[in-house]
Each structure stands twice: as structure tokens, then as C-alpha cells.
Chains A and B, each alone.
Chain A
Amino acid sequence: MKCRRIRGRLNAYVDRELDSSQMKAVAKHLRQCPECRSEVQALSQLDMKMRQLVSPEPSLGFNEKVMKEILSLQPKRSHPFQRWVPALTYSLLFFAVLYMGILWNQPLDERKATIAESPSWSEPFEESGNMRLSQLQDNSMESMWRQANETR
């Protein structure tokens, strides 16, 4: 490798970030090149100088202080069900949209039949006696209200 190319990788060499073949190639070059060798030495010495700025020991009671703050916060416990709420909501929404889509694409007669087959839809209407599903024959909301008022 050429000296100029090696120079660009000397930091990575000092940091041992080159792959093994590159490390060997740089080491081989360093044996022949005093300039690159002194550059490597200067980089290593700089790191040593920087490390002389030693780190402080944490103050006594630091952990206790942090934990006191944390325990004073609102309890973070979440009910396991809470995590399922968004998923459940989206699933229900998806199925509702799917159902509406299927219903929309059916001819009117089939649509009525599908609704009539569904007990959860038909029963409350039939029990109240106010409005029957057969009334859905006419799509006009106005006429449905008129019929509903007549049966009262």
C-alpha cells in the first residue's frame, strides 16, 4: 500500500478497527516507514494524554437520589389488557369495514337477507316492535321514520 493511503487509515489502525489483512498490511508498512511510525506513536500518545483527564466517582447516594425520584412518580403499572386495547380496536375496525364492504357489494335482496340472518342485528328491532327489517325495503330514511311513527 502507498504511504498516502496508509496515512488515511492510521487512526483506524490505532483503534484496531481494520480487518486482519489490512492490519497486517499497515504493520508491514510501518516497519519500513519512520514517518508513519511516528504518526502512530503521536496518535497513541494523544489518547494517553486525553485519558489523563480522569473521570470522577459518582457522589455518594447518587443511586438513592435517582430511585427516590423514580419511586415518587406515578406508578407506571399497566394492566396487561391495556397493551391489547389498540390491537383489539384496530381488529374490530378492520372487520367492521370488511363486513360493510361485503354488504355494499351485494345486491339489495341478498343484503337484506344477510342482515336478517344476523341475530344481533335483527333481534333488538323485532323485540321493540317499532321497526322491522322488512321496512328496509325502502331505502328512504324519511319513509322509515313515517312508518315507525305510524306503528306507535
Chain B
Amino acid sequence: MPLSDDDLIQRVQDGSARDFEIIVRRYHKPLIRFIFHFIGGDKDEAESLAQDVFLRIYTNIQTYRPQNTFKAYIFTIARNTAINYLKKNRRSRPISHFLDSNSESRYFSTSETPDIRLQRKDRLERVSQALIRLSLNQRLALVLKVYMQYSYKQIQEVTGWSIPKIETLISRGRANIRRFIESQENADNIVTSEEDKK
């Protein structure tokens, strides 16, 4: 039977650094996924920040006391690390890296016709642009809900927010994304109909 997180942490606290590797193996994928979607789709930065999270947890391991689950603890640290990164790299216009050229193979198969590929790319571009434009709180709530598939209770453990607040943030986040996508589609339609007139 695999050791629980708290048992592993106890062992690391007693000096067995090697047992931390099991923690890293257990959490690196969801951690990178969470940071990747939260900071706007930059894989290299997501990995670098995930590494920082593990190092921060390890260096403070002696002061760790289980209050919620270790999973909630790890994602709370990840949330703080990612927010600090975003604040430090705040730009006048947020940039989405989801569709950078080196990530294209992840989204598009070679068997797709250029037209279908373009349509899909446009659609993904709109979603990614809408996501990166949300407020930090709305984005955090939505990333935890949609990409991590957390329940409202689990989101509460990571953020400390009340359940009604989480529901409101998720509902407003979705509404804003829909509004942004619709406005982009309308703008595209206007451009197309003007080109048709010519």
C-alpha cells in the first residue's frame, strides 16, 4: 500500500530527503497543469515555477503541520508562487502563450485540412485570450474548476474563499469568457461582411 502524503512528509522531516521524490512524482503533473493554465500557457515558466514550489515546500518542511490536506497545502503554495510571478511580470496587455509555435503539435493534427485547422486555431485563440483577460480571482477559480476538476470545497481549501464567493467567481468568469468570445466573433463577422461587399 502506498504511503500517505503525511507519512511521507514525516519521513522527510526525519531526514529522508529521498522520500520527497515520491511527493514530486505524485504531484508534478497536476502542479504543472495548474500553473500552466493559470499563468497563460507558458510551459517553460510553468515548469520553472513548479520547481520553485517543490523547493519552497522542501526548505520549509520542518514547519509543515497538517491542517487541511497536503494537496491543498501544495496548491496554496503554487497559487501564491504563480500570483507573485504574474504580479512581477505584469504587462499592459496580457499575453497568452497557449498557441505559441512550439505548442502547435499539441493542438493540431497533420491530417486536418488548412481550413479546419485555421478555424480551430481561431477558436482556441479566443478562449485563451479570454482566459488570460479575467481577473486573477476569476481565473484562479475557473482553472481549479475546469482544468483541475476541483469541487467547490476543494477550491475553498486552496483559496480560503467562502463557497458562495467561489460560485460567484466561477459564474462571472464564465460569463466574461462568453462575452469576450461573442464580441470577437461579431467583430470577425463585421470584417468578413465588409470584405464581401468589396
**Which residues on A are within 8 Å of B, measured CB to CB?**
8, 10-12, 15, 17, 42-43, 46-47, 49-56, 58-59, 62-63, 65-67, 69-71, 73, 75-78
Contact yes or no, A70 B55, CB < 8 A: yes
Specify which chain B residues have a CB less than 8 angstroms from the CB of A17 in the assembled complex.
Answer: 151-152, 163, 167
B103: CB under 8 A from chain A?
yes
Number of residue pairs A-B, CB distance < 8 angstroms = 107
Specify which chain A residues have a CB less than 8 angstroms from the CB of B28 in the assembled complex.
Answer: 58, 62-63, 66
B32: CB under 8 A from chain A?
yes
Contact yes or no, A11 B128, CB < 8 A: no
A77 to B167, CA, bound (A): 43
Specify which chain A residues have a CB less than 8 angstroms from the CB of B61 in the assembled complex.
Answer: 76
A71 to B13, CA, bound (A): 14
Specify which chain A residues have a CB less than 8 angstroms from the CB of B17 in the assembled complex.
Answer: 70-71, 75-76
Contact yes or no, A76 B62, CB < 8 A: yes
A12 to B170, CA, bound (A): 9
**Which of chain B's residues has its CB closest to A45's CB?**
B178
A15 to B192, CA, bound (A): 36
B24, B124, B128, B170: the one contacting A63 at CB < 8 Å is: B24
B32, B58, B59: the one contacting A55 at CB < 8 Å is: B32
Q: Mark B151-186, 1 if CB is under 8 A from A, else 0.
A: 110000000000100010011001001100000000
**Which of chain B's residues has its CB closest to A10's CB?**
B171
Identify the 5 closest CB pairs spanning chains A and B, nearest first.
A77-B15, A11-B171, A55-B33, A56-B43, A50-B146
Specify which chain A residues have a CB less than 8 angstroms from the CB of B15 in the assembled complex.
Answer: 75-78
A42, A43, A56, A67: the one contacting B36 at CB < 8 Å is: A56
Contact yes or no, A67 B24, CB < 8 A: yes
Give the Cβ gap from B151 to chain A, nearest Cβ, in Å: 7
> Using a CB-CB cutoff of 8 Å, which residues 1-53 of chain B contact chain A?
12-15, 17, 20-21, 24-25, 28-29, 32-33, 36-37, 41, 43, 46-47, 50-51
Contact yes or no, B127 A52, CB < 8 A: yes
Q: Which of A8, A12, A51, A65 has the most CB of B within 10 A?
A: A12
CB<8 Å pairs between A and B, sample of 24 = A10-B171, A11-B167, A12-B167, A15-B145, A17-B152, A46-B174, A47-B146, A49-B123, A50-B131, A50-B146, A52-B124, A53-B124, A56-B32, A56-B43, A56-B103, A69-B51, A70-B17, A73-B55, A73-B59, A76-B15, A77-B14, A77-B15, A78-B15, A78-B62
